[in-house]
Amino acid sequence: MIPGTFDYHRPTGLAEAVALLASLDTDARVIAGGHSLIPMMKLRLAAPTHLIDLAGIGELKGVKMDGDTLVIGAMTTQHDLILNDLVAAHAPILKEAALLIADPQVRYMGTVGGNVANGDPGNDMPALMMALDGQYVLSGPKGARTVAARAYYNGPYDTAARPGEILAAIRVKAPAAGHGYAYEKLKRKVGDYATAASAVVLTVSGGKIATCAIALTNVADTPLNAAEAAAAVIGTALDKASLAKAAAAAESIASPAADARGSVQYRKKMAGVMTARALARAFARAAA
């Protein structure tokens, strides 16, 4: 199908984009890689009257360090993440997960900012940012503010962003060197969204898990911070009993819809299975 008509704007600076968004009617939308928004427009599920393209804004692109914090510009593509040395060195789970998103064509265009700002519970990056305790930097008519990824998602396509705000960057404090990590994503085929997926970031000290964060993708209306599952393994050497307890805790918070990917029961079960697999792989990777 063909999208409805809209006016196209291409600002070259973030302040200009924010001002433009404030000056236009409420049906104006920003567009990043377009790989979620354009399909929605073609299906007429979205009909923006104005599109503000962020592609010309250089300050929104790239990854840098600010002390011990990775600062990922919202317009950094998933492909850029995969190739970035800072990401590989400090938050390799982002590279591992980006490689599981769709296919190279989508990853060349799709941005990290679009992926997390969209509020689609099927997107992979939000759970990653929750597990890493990422902070979203939003720029709006009243200035900039920061919202934790763990507090950003209210419901499907419903986020803590206020009208007129544009996501400028994501700040991720680099986990300790030698940390363990894994993103386990069950999907029906290459290029599919997750049936269920689990992100784990942990540290190990003296053979036992010292810190752990777990977040789940596509098993509820929002990505889920599985705090109880993480607490179940802290202080353990990931023995069978604590692993089972963590998997059960992840399962218990999952409330997926039945769809072509499986029944409610199956997808709940898979939330636990993915969590157990991610924990085992992260633990094996971590330096004791």
Q: Which is nearer to ligand FAD, 221 or 228 (CB)?
A: 221
Q: Which is nearer to ligand FAD, 83 or 284 (CB)?
A: 83
Strand order in the sheet with 50-53: 7-9, 50-53, 28-31
Residue 287 half-sphere exposure toward CB, CA atoms < 13 A: 5
Q: Is residue 163 within 8 Å of 234, Cβ to Cβ?
A: no
Q: Which is nearer to ligand FAD, 109 or 174 (CB)?
A: 109
Q: CA–CA separation, 87 vs 72, rounded Å?
A: 9
How big, in percent rounded to 5, are the helix, strand and coil portions of the chain? Answer: 35, 25, 35
Q: Which is nearer to ligand FAD, 88 or 102 (CB)?
A: 102
Q: Is residue 256 within 8 Å of 268, Cβ to Cβ?
A: yes
CB atoms inside a 10 Å sphere around CB 283: 23
Shortest spacing between CB 16 and ligand FAD, in angstroms: 14
Shortest spacing between CB 195 and ligand FAD, in angstroms: 11
Shortest spacing between CB 173 and ligand FAD, in angstroms: 21
The residues that touch ligand FAD, with contacts defined as CB under 6 A, are 29-37, 39, 54, 74, 101-102, 106, 109-111, 113-115, 117-118, 123-125, 166-167, 191, 193
Q: Which is nearer to ligand FAD, 84 or 123 (CB)?
A: 123
Shortest spacing between CB 47 and ligand FAD, in angstroms: 12
- Compute CA 54 distance to the chain's CA centroid, rounded to the nearest angstrom: 19
Q: CA–CA separation, 104 vs 120, rounded Å?
A: 20
Q: Which is nearer to ligand FAD, 53 or 228 (CB)?
A: 53
Shortest spacing between CB 248 and ligand FAD, in angstroms: 26
Shortest spacing between CB 265 and ligand FAD, in angstroms: 23
